[in-house]
Amino acid sequence: MHTFDEAAQAVISLAQFCSHKGWLPATSGNLSVLVERDPMKIAITRSGADKQRLQADDILCIDEHMQVQTETAYRPSAETSVHIELYRKFSCGSILHVHTVFNNLVSELYGDEGAVPIHGHELLKALGHWEEDAEVSIPIVPNYADLARLGQAVAEAAHAEVPAVFVRNHGIYAWGDTPEAARRHLEAIEFLAEYVYRLGVARDIG
Ligand SMILES: CSCCC(=O)C(=O)COP(=O)(O)O
Ligand SMILES: [Zn+2]
């Protein structure tokens, strides 16, 4: 467990990493680190903040009912419900949501199938799959405008085999037991999203 200040600093460091990658364009994305599980307390980005330039007061402490625990005029991320539902479902310690061109492309290409299949790729080891010829399926959910519904849909689709869910034409949620694990999982999924897309293009022109 972290203090709120430690968790907030971890959120800022994660956002710096993601923004250097270009994964948080135009104020998009939201990031959180668990402070306490029971009762649940989460350090999460505020809604509308420029995640590429986060300041300490852009990170809010909230409870599992999305109530802000500190004095602030800001509101927590509009997608806080997704974070809360995922923390309820898994014993994870950090959740990262980013918008990238490649995760959007594969979410649209495979949207009707409801999942992106990935088979026999070395980077599946970064997601915990060390077996030869590993195969995983990363779920895709519709981009519901009702954010409570989106939270439920992401949590329902999420399974223990792979720590990520795509939201169609929107972005991705990835998580891990620690901020470092969440970051590693997100990097692996982003690599795989780009690989899947480029492989499809190479096959089409090959
Ligand atoms: C301009 S991005 C649209 C909202 C979104 O998808 C997102 O990730 C950021 O929302 P937040 O309320 O967390 O700033
Ligand atoms: Zn988003």
Bond prior to 39 in cis (omega within 30° of 0): yes
pLDDT at 206 (0 to 100): 80
For residue 169 and ligand 1, the question of a CB distance below 6 A is answered with no
What's the 77 CA to ligand 2 centre distance in angstroms?
9
For residue 145 and ligand 1, the question of a CB distance below 6 A is answered with no
Nearest CA to ligand 1 atom 3: 28
Place 1 in a pLDDT band, splitting at 50, 70 and 90. Answer: low
Report yes or no: 86 and 155 within 8 Å, Cβ to Cβ. Answer: yes
Report yes or no: 116 and 110 within 8 Å, Cβ to Cβ. Answer: yes
Predicted complex ipTM: 0.99
For residue 27 and ligand 1, the question of a CB distance below 6 A is answered with yes
Domains and CATH numbers, the chain: 4-205 (3.40.225.10)
Q: pTM of the predicted model, to two decimals? A: 0.98
Pick the atom of ligand 1 nearest to 26's CA: 1
Please report how the helices 80-89 and 147-157 are oriented relative to each other, as an axis angle in degrees rounded to 10: 30
- The answer on pLDDT for 2 being more than 90 is no
Supply φ then ψ for residue 31, to 5 degrees.
Answer: -140, 145
For residue 187 and ligand 1, the question of a CB distance below 6 A is answered with no
pLDDT at 144 (0 to 100): 98
CA dihedral 89, 92, 97, 101 (to 10 degrees): -100
Alpha helices in 21-56 (DSSP H): none
What's the 57 CA to ligand 2 centre distance in angstroms?
20
For residue 48 and ligand 1, the question of a CB distance below 6 A is answered with yes
- The answer to whether 2 is a known ligand-binding residue is no
- The answer on pLDDT for 3 being more than 70 is yes
Pairing of strands 164-167, 135-141: parallel
